[in-house]
């Protein structure tokens, strides 16, 4: 059963092939029609993207290029690289199998230093000891968005294989594994969860990328983990508006503009800012909606549900 939740959270026209002129402004965008859209890089700077660009076929093993960066309270700002199938890289690291594993995955035109990684990592370190693994998949990304979309399944599959190898050989608890992905990264973690048979305890999709993922079999879905939540902040533009997760949170209606934002690219980034706040303080509580119409008309009056946080038990979510 999918759940829709609306929150009110505060925080500081061209069509087809016509090129939009205002950086970050996606008011022109029409799903399935528009060729161009503005997308932010890892630092929130908008770049114009051609959704119809053609490139070379993606190597199905492109996920082998993934880099896994470990952060703990002993090395909060200086990562240690965990190399898939390299036992010494883990033995010589601060990995602790008795602590939860949280993986953070950036989106398009980003890398391991993207703002989402830094903000969520620091929030986690603020509250407890975690094995925070930042996935840098920039070597599989292309400046061509459609090519990057094709790299998502392999990137997620290899992330899943890496987690299986890590836990099988060095210990860890699947019931304490939390995968967090922003934009394209949300679909990466979905594919990772699928690769390990849904054993992951929790997945959080931060405004999952919309272009090229409507109805896609590679999109994040409810079966990818024991609990799958989405935080929609730019639905219908850079993000998916449909309730694709088990619990779907729509802060301020889930669309652009979010508070403090004028542009779609800003609203798209609000998702990880909201998550970081919930990790630190866990004060964002949504009201359950019966359906999308109730959500759109701000008529939700059901039960309450916590957005974000770091809980793993079912009791922690409600």
Residue among 68, 24, 73 at smallest CA distance from 44 = 24
- Our answer to whether residue 242 is catalytic in this structure is no
Q: How far apart are CA 318 and CA 314, in angstroms?
A: 7
What is the pLDDT tens value at each position of the chain, 318 positions in all? 577 776 766 544 334 567 788 999 999 999 999 999 999 999 999 999 999 999 989 999 999 999 999 999 999 999 999 999 999 999 999 999 999 999 999 999 999 999 999 999 999 999 999 999 999 999 999 999 999 999 999 999 999 999 999 999 999 999 999 999 999 999 999 999 999 999 999 999 999 999 999 889 999 999 999 999 999 999 999 999 999 999 999 999 999 999 999 999 999 999 999 999 999 999 999 999 999 999 999 999 999 999 999 987 654 443
- Our answer to whether residue 207 is catalytic in this structure is yes
Encoded tokens for 3 = 């759940």
CA distances from 235 to 194, 211, 271 (A): 24, 11, 11
The residue annotated as part of the active site, out of 136, 207, 224, 234, is 207
Q: Please state the pTM of the whole predicted model.
A: 0.94
CB 135 within 8 A of CB 211: no
The residue annotated as part of the active site, out of 148, 154, 183, 264, is 183
Superfamily of domain 3-317: Alpha/Beta hydrolase fold, catalytic domain (3.40.50.1820)
The whole-number pLDDT of residue 225 equals 98
Q: Where are the domains of the chain?
A: 3-317
The whole-number pLDDT of residue 12 equals 40
The residue annotated as part of the active site, out of 28, 182, 268, 306, is 268
- Our answer to whether residue 268 is catalytic in this structure is yes
Q: How far apart are CA 180 and CA 190, in angstroms?
A: 9
The whole-number pLDDT of residue 8 equals 64
């Amino acid at each position: 059963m999918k759940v829709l939740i609306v929150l009110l959270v505060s925080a500081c026209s061209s069509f087809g092939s016509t090129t939009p002129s205002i950086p970050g402004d996606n008011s022109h965008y029409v799903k399935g029609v528009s060729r161009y859209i503005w997308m932010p890089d890892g630092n929130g700077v908008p770049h114009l993207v051609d959704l119809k660009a053609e490139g070379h076929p993606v190597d199905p093993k492109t996920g082998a290029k993934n880099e896994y960066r470990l952060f703990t309270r002993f090395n909060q700002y200086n990562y240690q690289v965990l190399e898939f199938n390299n036992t010494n890289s883990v033995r010589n690291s601060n990995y602790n199998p008795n602590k939860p594993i949280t993986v953070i995955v950036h989106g398009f035109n980003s890398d391991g230093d993207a703002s989402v990684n830094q903000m969520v990592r620091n929030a986690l370190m603020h509250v407890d000891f975690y094995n925070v693994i930042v996935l840098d998949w920039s070597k599989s990304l292309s400046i061509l968005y459609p090519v990057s979309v094709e790299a998502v399944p392999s990137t997620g599959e290899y992330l899943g294989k890496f987690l299986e190898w890590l836990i099988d050989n060095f210990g860890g608890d699947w019931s304490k594994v939390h995968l967090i992905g922003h934009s394209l990264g949300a679909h990466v973690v979905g594919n990772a969860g699928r690769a390990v048979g849904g054993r992951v305890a929790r997945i959080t999709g931060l405004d999952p990328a919309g272009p090229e993922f409507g109805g896609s079999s590679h999109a994040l879905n409810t079966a990818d983990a024991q609990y799958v939540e989405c935080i929609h902040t730019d639905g219908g533009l850079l993000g998916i508006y449909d309730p694709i997760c088990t619990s779907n949170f729509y802060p301020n209606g889930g669309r652009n503009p979010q508070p403090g934002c004028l542009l779609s690219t800003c609203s798209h980034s609000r998702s990880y800012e909201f998550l970081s706040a919930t990790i630190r303080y866990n004060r964002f509580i949504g009201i359950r909606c019966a359906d999308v119409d109730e959500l759109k008309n701000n008529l939700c009056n059901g039960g309450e549900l916590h957005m974000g946080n770091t809980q793993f038990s079912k009791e922690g979510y409600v």
